[in-house]
Structure 1
């Protein structure tokens, strides 16, 4: 327990030698240090999980995740430790709040950053389902876009193909009707379109020739439709339309497993909306509360430091700082005095040298006269 206490004191950024003199302050800084440590631990897990998805599928993904998680956790630990230890209790409440404001804003940003990857892990099942839905809708939209582009590109050919199909259907109906009338003519059935004379006579031959003409035209139309179908099949292959298929369940599972961090983050955001675009309040609150929890957890050391009363440790630490500043100022004054004395000595020496040179120059001038 003593080693654990020493470790949490270190995490809190406290001056251990000074803190040991005041037992009433020990638990407070153990709590602050523990909060900073666990915040860094969650940050390491969050950063490692995010990096794991960056290198997902690579055999070195776990190694990179562990390495980055440790580095990220140490960075957050160092930043939190500095934020808490830099808040001074010597000023008034307003001064302390003003001093802590940028640190609280920084803590909020850190809380948002470390909470997102953990939210992705917590809602992993829902995110996978949302990814499958998104991939399926995206593939359907892609196929629809290609079909619209194809239709615009071959508008004339498609119109001709549609006309041929209508003509084919019309011819098939006419041929069936004409054959029925021909049979009535041959068997002597009296109608408004038959003569009522039994046998293969003149009227029957006329009606048969009409049927033959329609069948010949139908054969031509069918050949043209076959040619058009071959044309469209070849064009769909060239345009890549024939290769597009809707994803199967196995393909969707595979795509969801290899989804990157950006896709999963986008899917998490989509969970907060329903299909009609309205806000899904249940999912939104669940995801938001987790983010708020980590933000609060990150800001908690700063809040604890602000809410705690000014204790004997804070007074002793302030006195130590004031003493160090005072002695540092005295030492600096002495150094400045020494520097000024040396400077004055050098200046006086230079003036004496200049006087001697002027005197020597004056003597030379008199000798010359």
Structure 2
């Protein structure tokens, strides 16, 4: 049962192969098994690749099955259409387009499995790229809000500086009128004289101005700090919203690019392995000697070709013979005097009728 299934996979004519030896049947069963397991590998590779795209099992399994059936049909077609020739060069020339197609299929099949085999290394590369993208994104978002934040900070610093300057002025006036009262500076007279009163009046005025400035500026500072908090919240929200996009940088194309950044030698060996698997049915058939099945198949094909060519020749000969006979028959008829006189009489009557009709039309016109 399994042997018959693999023979079916090889694309060989079962009716012809049944009359061949067991060794010939085993050879084609081996070729069919290679075709079948190549399709199985195609299913595994494509299902994993599509799982990275859809992130769902069922679509990946469905499209993976479709892809594997396509590969199975192509491989079966390639193997079944190769005909053994008397010269290896002609056989290889016949198989060259099929080998090129097999190479393309092998590359397509091997790439997803390479991604799975080197998954840990690829994850490391992707992690570095995600971290770099996150830092770059944070820098770009910060630059976007930088002008507003810097302006807000400058305005807050300016308001605080106004308060500080006024405080320093008030403290300086306070020290001035105290030292005047103590007689250590100014007029150097102890007591609260006219100069002292003038200086304390300036201090009180500056203190009142300080209270007004502090009240107004603190209100403005609170508003600016509220604005700064909103800007910072928008910045944090922007970073939060863009982070899932960076975290989702894990698709098929990203993994292929990450794989290309790894050493190429291991990937090359895996690709060569799949290339050997994919081309093994073709190579096996090219290298195998011309067997019993090939002779019987060639006999049937040449017999059918000879029959078709013979039928075509007979049909062409029949057409030529029939045409020659008809030419001779009509030549004999043309020489019959009675037929000639009858044809002459009828032609004369037709010409007379045409002449009468022409005259009548001319009369009606006049």
Matched, 1:56 2:55: yes
Matched with 1:9 is 7
Larger Rg: 2
Q: Structure 1, residues 45-84: CA drift from partner, whole Å, max 9, x if none? A: 3333344455435xxx51x444333332222111111112
**Cα contact 2:83–2:91 (8 A) shared by 1:** yes
Matched with 1:277 is none
Matched with 1:167 is 158
Counterparts of 2:71 and 2:321, CA distance in 1 = 50
Counterparts of 1:13 and 1:4, CA distance in 2 = 15
Counterparts of 1:49 and 1:310, CA distance in 2 = 40
Matched, 1:243 2:216: no
Matched with 2:255 is 267
Structure with the larger helix share: 2
Which structure 2 residue ranges, 5 or more long, are not aligned?
Answer: 353-366
* 1:320 maps to which of 276, 300, 304: 300
Deviation of 1:12 after TM superposition, in Å, equals 1.9
Q: Structure 1, residues 86-108: CA drift from partner, whole Å, max 9, x if none? A: 22221523322222221111111
**Cα contact 1:89–1:96 (8 A) shared by 2:** yes
Which structure 1 residue ranges, 5 or more long, are not aligned?
Answer: 274-279
After superposition, the Cα gap between the structure-2 partners of 1:160 and 1:313, relative to the gap in structure 1 and judged at 3 Å, is closer
* 2:309 maps to which of 326, 329, 347: 329
SS at match of 1:88: coil
Aligned residues, how many? Answer: 341
Matched with 2:202 is 206
Matched, 1:303 2:283: yes
Q: Structure 1, residues 12-32: CA drift from partner, whole Å, max 9, x if none? A: 223344445244434433332
Deviation of 1:222 after TM superposition, in Å, equals 3.9
Matched with 1:276 is none
**Cα contact 2:8–2:32 (8 A) shared by 1:** yes
Give me the TM-score of the superposition, normalised by structure 2.
0.72
* Aligned residues: CA RMSD: 4.3
SS at match of 2:238: coil
SS at match of 2:158: helix
SS at match of 2:237: coil
Matches within 5 A, 1:110-125: 110-125=105-120
Deviation of 1:168 after TM superposition, in Å, equals 3.2
